[in-house]
Chains A and B, each alone.
Chain A
Amino acid sequence: MSLFSLIFGNKPKTAVIAKERLQLIIAHERRGGTSAPDFLPALQEELMAVISKYVSVNPEDIKVSLEKQGNFEVLEVNIVMPESGGRL
């Protein structure tokens, strides 16, 4: 916020806010229409089952997410291993 608007208390114009919100939500919804990552919860569950065979991990230690970076979709799987090594 500029000094001017700090002094005079100008709020950001609502039309600008509207445009930003719309651009975000529409981009999100356009993406969602075709390849909705509906499989993510199931994938997370199955990964959990496999990994649990070898290492004891908590369900919340496995994070699966799908992100769009430019033209690529990046599937990110993040597994936090227990400190002790936690071998079964």
Chain B
Amino acid sequence: MTRIVVVTSGKGGVGKTTTSASFASGLALRGYRTAVIDFDVGLRNLDLIMGCERRVVYDLVNVLNGEATLGQALIKDKHCDNGNLFVLPASQTRDKDALTEEGVEKVLKELEHMGFDYVVCDSPAGIERGAVMALTFADEALVVSNPEVSSVRDSDRILGIIQAKSRRALLGAEPVKEHLLITRYAPKRVNEGEMLSYKDVQEILRVPIIGVIPESEAVLQSSNAGTPAIHLAGSDVAGAYHDVVGRFLGETIPLRFVDYEKPGLFKRLFGGR
């Protein structure tokens, strides 16, 4: 049985694609056959974050239109040595209407036949067709939110849409399992009362938290290089994403990187990072 996971947020720029890339990579690294699909038709970027932009030949819309087979369009990720991760890029042309419910369902069914354990759907920002299509068939949802008012409000909106428009909601089946992922978290600013704490955000949205990703320079560096952040061994961000994957798979892992530690004298003198 393939599990379909949508990574969504409503607001743009909060870390959906970064999360999709790292989360899918994390699942693949643990041995699950995983496909990650970019639903942002017209503004694809997952290929860049995954570092496979030069290997894109066919895309999701080509598959939907029958111009290419799924096998032709799937790109094998080179960062996961075990060959478990495949990327399905979005189209860069503007035919958003190509994204039909029947078409998307067919692609997802075919991925299931191909034996994928997980399909990660990277949603575009907003609440229009692409975003709705990305969440329609989801079994679980990672709702990405920054500790910031507009992002939290938009996350609440997208949660409402999941609860109203997903296939599971419409069929009256068991609801989509929601997880809250807080990104760009700065414990120091939380400590100083300048930033909502993860507990605040959770209290407002009332969704179980699956992880907190600290604000980090590593994210920009990983996107510069086209290597998903989870591969940056030793970085806080990679550790936090590995934890998210573990919790998603049912492990009990305490939150890390959420408390601010005052730098000691040594650290202040020698500026260790």
A-side interface residues toward B, CB under 8 Å?
13-16, 18-19, 21-23, 25-26, 29-30, 33
Contact = CB atoms under 8 A, between A and B. Distances in A.
A16 B192 CA distance: 11
Interface stretch (B12-20, B59-67, B69-77, B150-158): B150-158
A3 B156 CA distance: 38
Interface stretch (B34-42, B105-113, B115-123, B193-201): B193-201
A30 B157 CA distance: 8
Contacts of A33: 160
Given A13-B194, A26-B204, A18 B149 contact: yes
A2 B190 CA distance: 22
A29 to B, nearest CB: 7
A15 B193 contact: yes
Nearest to B199: A19
A29 B157 CA distance: 9
B195 A22 contact: no
Interface string B31-61: 0000000000000000000000000000000
B156 A15 contact: no
Interface of B: 148-149, 152-153, 156-157, 160, 190, 192-197, 200, 203-204
A14 B194 CA distance: 5
B166 to A, nearest CB: 15
Given A15-B195, A15-B197, A30-B160, A25 B153 contact: yes
A13 B194 CA distance: 6
Contacts of B193: 13-16
A64 to B, nearest CB: 27
A15 B160 contact: no
Given A13-B193, A13-B194, A19 B200 contact: yes
A19 B204 contact: yes
B139 to A, nearest CB: 24
Given A22-B153, A29-B153, 6 more contacts: A13-B194, A15-B194, A15-B200, A21-B149, A26-B204, A30-B156
A21 B150 CA distance: 11
Nearest to A16: B193
Nearest to A14: B194
Contacts of B157: 29
B89 to A, nearest CB: 34
B151 to A, nearest CB: 10
Nearest to A19: B200
B110 to A, nearest CB: 35
A33 B163 CA distance: 12
